[in-house]
Structure 1
């Protein structure tokens, strides 16, 4: 593959990272005027429409019935796992003052992928990967340190727990998707993901027995955010994979926290504390080390 193709893949991966970064910002601003249930229904309803239109006109469609029985089960498990992870993600966004903090905690998802791979697939990891895990966890601890003292209450806050639940189940979804990626079209995974989330948030809204609540600003942020994240971000990610290895796309994706910090300051005028910024930097460094170790392992095998 030529340098031009590789450059194209890198540019697409950077565009996907910036697109996903906007999810943290626009969702936070949208939920200032809308509750979580109302937000989720419109966000994933629009994302589902975007994906269905794209799937209808721009991809080779494959029906759910045409999948093997195992693939159907995996797809349903991905849908359930995504519902738990994304619900926890947006709950954390709602509860956290600065969305950049959620992105730092979300960086722990590769750790859960490593643990799941080791426990269920007997995957072996190098000492460099383990070092990356240690550095990432150290970053989480630093983020929850006040002055020179670690604060367990900060780590056990609902916002932190929600972000870690997101990281765990996102890791589960990633492992499941990898196991059947050759048999399940990626567009079908995306549609299934958004369908489960739309149905789940609709049930949540009905259970609360409330009418959806939106302001004109929240509708604008939701429409734009659902286009940039659940649709365009995923589309650009898959496009980048046509030109560069998945490890490169993942490596570039670790920079999203930088864009989120910059965006939170530009749009909301807030910055992480010194410890949060230092700890967040450690989480990024740890994931970079894990990703580089994966790249070297892939080349050697």
Structure 2
């Protein structure tokens, strides 16, 4: 039905906007506080919201019924989320413009696609190949700063974004293969709990105080509510009405949203060559997403 498709695309668009807010509000907060301080408050808010939603939806009743293998998967996902999220926010802290971080992060769907081919033997068309090449070229242009040695060839933080993309793709593969019987609410809560515990440990290791500026606390509260909770929830709601591949088409425009929000909030724009590379990477990811959506549609027709 057209109304269902509209709802699906609407939820996907809201998810894209709210997820983009993570880049903005986390950057604003990290400009004032240590990464460990940031993590404690950010993931405390995320855990409270996620756990509350888990209880409200009744998803907690499935916890005692989890098999040992599922507990191991949740633990594996927890470790991967720590590596993914720590590298993500570290890159946000290092790279001055959140839009640049977002554009380089377009390597994630490229890596995820390659992993799907290698490990799941998924189909890969020449159109997707073209999109992947564009995204890779765009990421290279954004990261390149003209140095003569490998250490200063790319901007600081670019390597961390690459590491983040790899771990994020790995976590997505684990979810895709192993956790079909686990609810989204449980996965979100598991993620928030692991990250909160890790942040508390890092707070103690670095001997940081829980006292932070009020402005930073406000930015954390807004970002943690919109990003880790509402963005993920809206993404899953979009899946109820449209296919994952179609939702991904909308989400591929995240970089544009971050660019606009970054300009409005921080009054900054990437350098001309970074902007060109960023647009190229967005186009590449958009092509990959559209191609996957068409393949998904053809598969349904054949079935």
TM-score where L is the length of structure 1: 0.94
In 2, are the aligned partners of 1:19 and 1:228 still within 8 Å (CA)? Answer: yes
Q: Retained in 2: the 8 A contact 1:145–1:275?
A: no
1:136-155 alignment runs, 5 A limit: 136-146=135-145, 153=151
- Cα displacement (A) at 1:212: 2.6
Structure 1 residue aligned with 2:293 = 295
Q: What CA deviation, in whole Å up to 9, does each residue of 1:104-135 have, x standing for no partner?
A: 11111111112222332233312221211111
Give the Cα separation in 2 of the matches to 1:193 and 1:60: 15
- Equivalences, count: 299
User: In the alignment, what sits opposite 1:108?
Assistant: 107
Confirm or deny: 8 A CA contact 1:21 1:260 kept in the other structure. Answer: yes
Q: CA deviation at 1:63?
A: 3.4
Deviates more, 1:152-161 or 1:136-145: 152-161
Task: From the superposition, tell whether residues 246 and 151 of structure 1 become closer, same or farther in structure 2 (CA, over 3 Å).
Answer: farther
Partners of 2:84 and 2:164 within 8 A in 1: yes
* Deviation per residue, 1:155-209 (Å, 9 max, x gap): 6444111111111111111111111342111111101111111111111111112
* Structure-1 separation of matches of 2:241 and 2:90: 35
Contact 2:105 2:161 in 1 (8 A): yes
SS at structure 2 position matched to 1:34: coil
For residues 12-31 of structure 1, give each alpha carbon's deviation from its aligned partner in whole angstroms, at most 9, with x where no partner exists: 11111110111100000011
Per the alignment, residue 22 of structure 2 pairs with 23
Q: Cα RMSD over matched residues?
A: 1.8
When residues 134 and 151 of structure 1 are mapped into structure 2, their CA distance, relative to the original with a 3 A threshold, is farther
Instruction: List runs of 5+ in structure 1 lacking aligned partners.
Output: none
- Which of 203, 210, 217 is residue 205 of structure 1 equivalent to? 203
Q: Whole-Å Cα distance in 2 between the matches of residues 145 and 39 of structure 1?
A: 29
In the alignment, does 2:248 pair up with 1:223?
A: no
TM-score in terms of structure 2 length: 0.93
Q: In 2 relative to 1, CA 279–213 (structure 1 residues): closer, same or farther, beyond 3 Å?
A: farther
Shift of 1:154: 5.3
1:174 alignment partner, one of 172, 175, 195: 172
C-alpha displacement at 1:141, in angstroms? 1.5
- Given the superposition, is the C-alpha separation of residues 155 and 186 from structure 1 closer, same or farther in structure 2, using an over 3 Å criterion? farther
2:34 maps to 1:38: no
Task: Say if 1:10 and 1:244, in contact at 8 Å, map to a contact too.
Answer: yes
- 2 CA distance for matches of 1:11 and 1:121? 30
1:165–1:146 distance in 2 versus 1, CA, 3 Å: closer
In structure 2, the residue matched to 1:81 is: 80
- The unaligned stretches of length 5 or more in structure 2 are none
The whole-number CA distance in structure 2 between the counterparts of 1:287 and 1:154 is 27
Structure-to-structure mapping, 1:36-75, within 5 angstroms:
36-75=35-74
Judge conservation of contact 1:104–1:257 (CA < 8 Å) in 2.
yes
- Superposition deviation, residue 220 in structure 1: 0.3
Distance 1:167 1:300 in 2: 29
Q: Give structure 1 regions of 4+ aligned residues with deviation exceeding 6 angstroms.
A: none
The answer to whether the 8 Å contact 1:50/1:231 transfers is: yes
Q: 1:276 aligns with which of 268, 274, 277?
A: 274
Give yes or no for contact 1:155–1:161 (8 Å, CA) kept in 2: no
